[in-house]
Amino acid sequence: MTVLALETSCDETAVAILRDDRSGPELLASEVASQVAAHEKYGGVVPEIASRNHLIYAPQLLDGAVAAAKTPFSEIDAFAATSGPGLASSLMIGASVAKGLAIGFGKPYLGINHLEGHLLSPFFAGAMHSSRSSGLGDGGVASTMRVQGDIRPNVSLVVSGGHTLLVLVRGLTNYQLIGHTVDDAAGEAFDKVAKMLGLGYPGGPEIEKHARGGDPKRFDFPRSMPASENFSFSGLKTAVRYLLPKLPVIPSEVESGAVRETATRTGRPEAERTGSERIKSRRVTEGEFQRDPSSTLRFARGDVLRDLCASFQQAIVDVLVTKTIAVAQKHRVDLVTISGGVSCNQELRRQMRDATGRKGIEFKSAEPWLCTDNAAMIAFAALLRLRAGYRSKVTEEIDPNLKVA
Ligand code: KG4
Ligand code: ZN
């Protein structure tokens, strides 16, 4: 059985082909075209730019993937795409392409929840030993990709730019939402604080890089909602904002230019949102994200930037690790998994591994190249669902607010 999947929920266009035979699943192609450069100057994802780029990249990646996999479309047994959550105008592109291929070749279609893709990804194994760029972004092909075992019950921490979720996974499709963020997602907090500090986008890798060698105890940032299984990171972001003017050096944010609507990875632009969703949206000026290079330099001269990044990162890691372990213990689960872009963070991985080890809990994380958005995780979820007899109707709509449980 061979599955082709597309992922276009936000600003990455991705295509993967996964084959399942007697020796287990084998990832034949995994291609990602990143649009970071196209959105960076706006400080967030501009939905219309994202969908226009998906339209350009998707056919090119499809060609690249079938060539890399040496598998013509006629040999694909099912076509899958992310059906939510995400930006409506982006989701539509991948879902329409997958549905078109499914109809054209008379094969099943599967709409896959992006969050399910993330939360199953730690169950992949296998090194990516040949990596190749699609010429459009970062791409790679893993020659052998095995399933690490059944989807064992676990407490899954999904941490990305749009989501911070604690999910009790009892098995494939059996998910219970335990905790979620009430305001910013962890990745969003990294991105916003990086912007305040005059660092690049996406902010997580930048903050991690600048935190190296810094003192994580120098600044005492808040750990919000300690008694709850939910998360809140906007107080932490505000604490950094209030601290900056008190420091000997302050990064400058340029406030000029036309207002442009951008969206967080959660989905729709501000105008379309309601209630608490609005908290997650932001309007930025085109000039806001233009970095003042001297601000980073001035910061770097002291150790302030290093210590600030290390202290901020530690505040996030502390909260994520403490709550995940508490939930695993409460539900007597002996496996913790982490996935999503923020789970690339080496400090988070290290501290989660240490903390679970101390409690006798097993720990699995998605491989770093599977943490950020990709289509291999969508193909994997589709394959597991196909094996279990699931199919979607081609009339099924995308859902920008699709829930995992
Ligand atoms: O999973 P992902 O690629 O997209 C979403 O579904 O949101 O996650 C992207 C997020 C961004 O907010 C980015 O800053 C964060 O993941 N991220 C990191 C790291 N690498 C990516 N955050 C902290 N440390 C990292 N090394
Ligand atoms: Zn994601």
What tens digit of pLDDT does each residue of 325-346 get?
A: 999 999 999 999 999 999 999 9
CA 91 vs. chain centroid, Å, equals: 15
Average pLDDT over residues 27-34: 94
Residue 18 in this model has a pLDDT that exceeds 80: yes
Mean pLDDT of 3-18: 96
Whole-angstrom distance, CA of residue 283 vs CA of residue 264? 10
Cα–Cα distance for residue pair 7/215, rounded to 1 Å: 38
Q: Cα(194) to centroid of ligand 2, in Å?
A: 19
The pLDDT of 251-261, averaged and rounded, is 37
Is residue 321 scored above 80 in pLDDT?
yes
Do 347 and 355 touch, CB atoms closer than 8 A? Answer: no
Q: What's the CA-to-centroid distance between 373 and ligand 1, angstroms?
A: 9
**Is 266 in a helix, a strand, or coil?**
coil
CB of 140 closer than 6 angstroms to any ligand 1 atom: no
Helices (H) and strands (E) in the chain, counts: 12, 14
pLDDT at 131: 38
How far apart (Å, rounded) are the C-alpha atoms in residues 34 and 121?
A: 20
What is the mean predicted confidence (pLDDT) over 217-243? 96
Ligand 1 pocket check for 342: Cβ under 6 Å = yes
Of residues 325 and 132, more confidently modeled: 325
- Identify whether the C-beta of residue 8 lies closer than 8 Å to the C-beta of residue 91: yes
- Residue 204 CB–ligand 1 contact under 6 Å: yes
Max avg pLDDT among 114-123, 128-137, 199-208: 114-123
pLDDT cut 90: percent of the chain above it: 71
* Tens digit of each residue's pLDDT (9 = 90 or more) over 338-389: 999 999 999 999 999 999 999 999 999 998 989 999 999 999 999 999 999 9
Distance 190 CA to ligand 1 centre (A): 8
Euclidean distance between CA atoms 141 and 133, whole angstroms: 9
Question: Which helix (H) or strand (E) covers residue 124, if one does?
Answer: strand 124-125
Categorize the per-residue pLDDT at 219 as very low, low, confident or very high, splitting at 50, 70 and 90.
Answer: very high
Q: How confident is the model at residue 274 (pLDDT cuts 50, 70, 90)?
A: very low
Ligand nearest to C-alpha 339: 1
Mean pLDDT value across residues 105-119 = 98
Q: Which of 204, 210, 194, 156 is nearest to 320 (CA)?
A: 156
Of 221, 201, 187, 131, nearest in space to 338 by CA: 187
Residue 26 in this model has a pLDDT that exceeds 50 = yes
Residue 149 — pLDDT band, cuts 50, 70, 90? low
pLDDT for the residue 144: 58
CA of 7 to the centre of ligand 2 (A): 10
Ligand 1: residue of 7, 190, 369 to mutate (most ligand atoms within 8 A of CB) is: 190
What are the residues whose beta carbons fall under 8 Å from the beta carbon of 72, sequence distance 6 or more? 66
- DSSP letters spanning 184-217: --HHHHHHHHHHHTT--SSHHHHHHHHHTT--TT
Q: How confident is the model at residue 256 (pLDDT cuts 50, 70, 90)?
A: very low
Which protein residue's CA is at the shortest distance from atom 16 of ligand 1? 341
- Average pLDDT for 237-256: 72
Backbone angles phi, psi at 283, to 5 degrees: -110, 130
Mean pLDDT is lowest, of 41-45, 55-59, 314-318, for 41-45
Q: How far is the CA of 163 from the centre of ligand 1 (A)?
A: 10
**Angle at 20 (CA atoms; ends 14, 25), nearest 5 degrees:** 70
Of 25 and 104, the one with more pLDDT? 104
Q: Is 187 close to ligand 1, i.e. is its CB under 6 Å away?
A: yes
Residue 284 has pLDDT above 50, yes or no: no
**Nearest residue by C-alpha to atom 8 in ligand 1:** 341
With a cut of 70, say whether residue 108 has pLDDT above it. yes
Which of 121, 191, 372, 402, when mutated, tests ligand 1's pocket best, judged by the most ligand atoms within 8 Å of its CB?
372
What is the reported pLDDT for 303?
A: 84
- Answer yes or no: is pLDDT of 23 > 80: no
pLDDT at 239: 97
Neighbours of ion ligand 2 (CB under 5 A): 160, 373
Pocket perturbation via mutation, ligand 1, pick of 342, 352, 402 by most ligand atoms within 8 A of CB: 342
